[in-house]
Structure 1
Amino acid sequence: MAQDVILLAHGDGGALTYRLVKDLFLRYFPGQALQALTDAAALDLPAGRLAVSTDAFVVSPPFFPGGDIGKLAVCGTVNDLAVSGARPLYLTASFLLEEGLSLADLERVVASMAATCREAGVEIVAGDTKVVERGKLDRIFISTTGVGIIPPEVDLGYHRVAPGDRILVNGGMGEHGLAILALRSGLDFAGQLKSDCAPLNGIIADLLAAVPGVKLMRDLTRGGLVTAAKEIALATGKDLLLEEEAIPVSGLVRGAADLLGLDPLYLANEGKFMAIVAPEEAEKALAVLRQHPLGKEAAIVGEVREGKGNVYLRTAFGGTKLMDMLAGAPLPRIC
């Protein structure tokens, strides 16, 4: 392209829009449904219940250690489908671009999305691009919608959660949130702090195939582990007891969080999920998770109890704390 930056004319539906779509988006998203350039994609769907999820991504800054807004947009929607028990198949993507955005940065984001789609085994089948005047948004926002299929044999939901069920996570807490905060604050922590951004559909498919006793899953994004646990407790009318010493948190994350006055259990993750599993299958579920690269630090971190919708944390000192949802976001624009 002759231009080095996004112009308002890239969003007017004319020649520059056509060139942007043909020379950039279609080069990275080669699926037949998108290549047709029709007003809607016609898709084949296998048997099962249709799962649909939509999300918007406004993370600041758009490039961060371990990922970028493009990778995040794909992972965020793929993971929402996966924890619902669905096999993600198709995504749509809408790009909101600020006038003056570097075309090189846009291509970097699109290339990252394409690579993450290949990793997750999904296809972008429809999209849109809008350009707004300089200063009207922060460089680039992306909105995605995902479509997947829930197999007939999969039944996940609050109705299945019962006292005695075990709570598992697939790895360490707080990595995405702290990576974003460190970048914004100019702290590099020796360059070791990275987002955990990753598509979870592979590890979740392995878990569902091997463990029929999986009852409910949630991805642990904004609000972190404790907020997700509280939402489950309120929806089920059960209490959730978390064991602080069992929850995986890396030494780097714990130290950085202590330094900044933050609790890793409330920080966003983009490659972590919680699974509630029947007690007799908890150890099997743990073994399955640990066999996957995204589950090497998986742990059983608590259990479900009779109660009234509370979340408790048994501390390393033997005491028990009543936990609640995150009140006010310590890190805005985290995803």
Structure 2
Amino acid sequence: MRGALQIWRSLMTRAEPAILLAHGGGGRLARDLLRGVVLKHFSNTTLDALGDAALLQAPTGRLAFTTDSFVVNPLFFPGGDIGKLAACGTINDLAVSGARPLALSCALIIEEGFPAHDLEVILESMKTVLESEGVAVVTGDTKVVERGAAHGLFINTAGIGAVQDPAPAGAHAVRPGDAVLVSGPIGDHGMAVLACREGLEFQGELRSDCAPLYAPARALLMAAPETRLIRDATRGGLAAILHEWCEDRDWGVELDEAAIPVRPETAALCGILGLDPLHAANEGTFAAVVPADQAQAALQALHSLPATHGAAIIGRIRADFPGRVVLDTRIRGRRIVDRPAGDPFPRIC
């Protein structure tokens, strides 16, 4: 009988090598997958120790801690893939909390038969983002499940970061008259993934906005140190986070439809499908509430960065309709912006 290493080498030299159930079994094949694939992309002193937990030097001050799971379908889409999405999503949750990302965990749940080459591409995408942000994967896990149980690949991440000053003050600090802004056009990720999944083709290039947001978030906070709130507008889109902010508050949000940046391709697809860009997911765009007298400085700081040159002030905080989000339309009307009842774009992240 051939040894496990021989089996692994045989699989890796086939025309289309794939992951086996045995790669998640904790034996030699699992070790070969870890050393031959995962560590090749994420290797660092802490991870290479292969301990049951990462031993890290704790910074002084507060820590931010977040976790997320990624089940996007399809795994590859214009502007990114599940690996890039996992890295950016976790970094961004820390960044909009006022923290400098320090380290991530990465757990892979791989379906039996998943192409080894696709796994390499996805891990390389994660590595590219993490290296650009100076963040390391320091611990993780790998499991393999039967065919049909994971739609190829699921990724779970957790991230820790060091909270920096200034940081967002919180919803209690919001005041009527504060400005609401976004860091760029909305809805690109949701519509790009949806179009790719359904095989929709039309003129123009529709790409996910998936990108790390630490630098823009830090630039905003330095320019507007009394910033009240920042959130990355992921599932449920801009509408969902605005409702989360003003729920049970004595203030609401007034939006100016003409000021909200939406790319023509995104607007066109939303129009065809009868969808609202305000409900479409983003993976490289955040919303923020800043004092009115710091709004222009915040906008100028964002415009100085290539990733957020499309930032715009899109509304303000109002005291006369508490707990609601209202949109002033282009035709000088006004409508209530509903909170999404469910997920209009399933498996989008």
TM-score by length of 1: 0.97
Structure 2 residue 288 is the aligned partner of structure 1 residue 275 = yes
Aligned counterparts of 1:253 and 1:152: Cα–Cα separation in 2: 36
Letter in 2 for 1:107: E
* Structure 1 range deviating more: 201-210 or 100-109: 201-210
Shift of 1:237: 3.1
Structure 2 residue 338 is the aligned partner of structure 1 residue 330 = no
Alignment correspondent of 1:154: 167
Shift of 1:153: 4.2
8 Å CA contact retained: 2:84, 2:125: yes
Match of 1:301 among 311, 314, 332: 314
Alignment of 1:46-195 (within 5 A): 46-190=59-203, 192-195=205-208
Match of 2:332 among 299, 318, 327: 318
Shift of 1:121: 2.0
Aligned counterparts of 1:2 and 1:51: Cα–Cα separation in 2: 44
Percent identity (aligned):
49
Alignment of 1:207-246 (within 5 A): 207-234=220-247, 236-246=249-259
Shift of 1:235: 5.0
Q: In the superposition, relative to structure 1, how do residues 285 and 256 fare at CA in structure 2: closer, same or farther (>3 Å)? A: same
Aligned counterparts of 2:213 and 2:202: Cα–Cα separation in 1: 27
Letter in 2 for 1:89: L
- What number of residue pairs does the alignment pair up? 335
Alignment correspondent of 2:5: none
Match of 1:19 among 15, 20, 32: 32
Aligned counterparts of 2:100 and 2:129: Cα–Cα separation in 1: 16
Deviations 1:224-278 (A, max 9, x none): 1111111111153311001100000011111111011111111000000001000
Letter in 2 for 1:318: R
Aligned counterparts of 1:283 and 1:191: Cα–Cα separation in 2: 32
* Structure 2: runs of 5+ lacking an equivalent: 1-8, 12-16
Alignment correspondent of 1:206: 219
Letter in 1 for 2:231: R
Aligned counterparts of 2:67 and 2:248: Cα–Cα separation in 1: 22
Match of 2:49 among 20, 36, 60: 36
* Structure 1 range deviating more: 267-276 or 46-55: 46-55
Q: In the superposition, relative to structure 1, how do residues 63 and 246 fare at CA in structure 2: closer, same or farther (>3 Å)? A: same
Aligned counterparts of 1:235 and 1:164: Cα–Cα separation in 2: 18
8 Å CA contact retained: 2:168, 2:221: no
Match of 2:265 among 252, 257, 261: 252
Deviations 1:201-244 (A, max 9, x none): 11111222222121110110011111111111115331100110
Alignment correspondent of 1:2: 10
Shift of 1:152: 4.9
8 Å CA contact retained: 1:165, 1:303: yes
Aligned counterparts of 1:190 and 1:158: Cα–Cα separation in 2: 41
Shift of 1:45: 2.8
Aligned counterparts of 2:322 and 2:224: Cα–Cα separation in 1: 28
| Secondary structure class of the residue paired with 2:225 | coil
8 Å CA contact retained: 1:161, 1:236: no
Aligned counterparts of 1:331 and 1:215: Cα–Cα separation in 2: 29
Letter in 1 for 2:187: G
Q: In the superposition, relative to structure 1, how do residues 185 and 18 fare at CA in structure 2: closer, same or farther (>3 Å)? A: same
TM-score by length of 2: 0.94
Letter in 1 for 2:331: F
8 Å CA contact retained: 1:168, 1:274: yes
| Secondary structure class of the residue paired with 2:157 | strand
Aligned counterparts of 1:224 and 1:152: Cα–Cα separation in 2: 27
8 Å CA contact retained: 2:105, 2:137: yes
* Structure 1: runs of 5+ lacking an equivalent: none
* Structure 1 range deviating more: 253-262 or 240-249: 253-262
Which protein has the larger Cα radius of gyration, Structure 1 or Structure 2? 2
Aligned counterparts of 2:255 and 2:108: Cα–Cα separation in 1: 39
Match of 1:266 among 264, 279, 286: 279
8 Å CA contact retained: 2:166, 2:222: no
Aligned counterparts of 2:205 and 2:221: Cα–Cα separation in 1: 32
Shift of 1:322: 1.1
8 Å CA contact retained: 1:158, 1:235: no
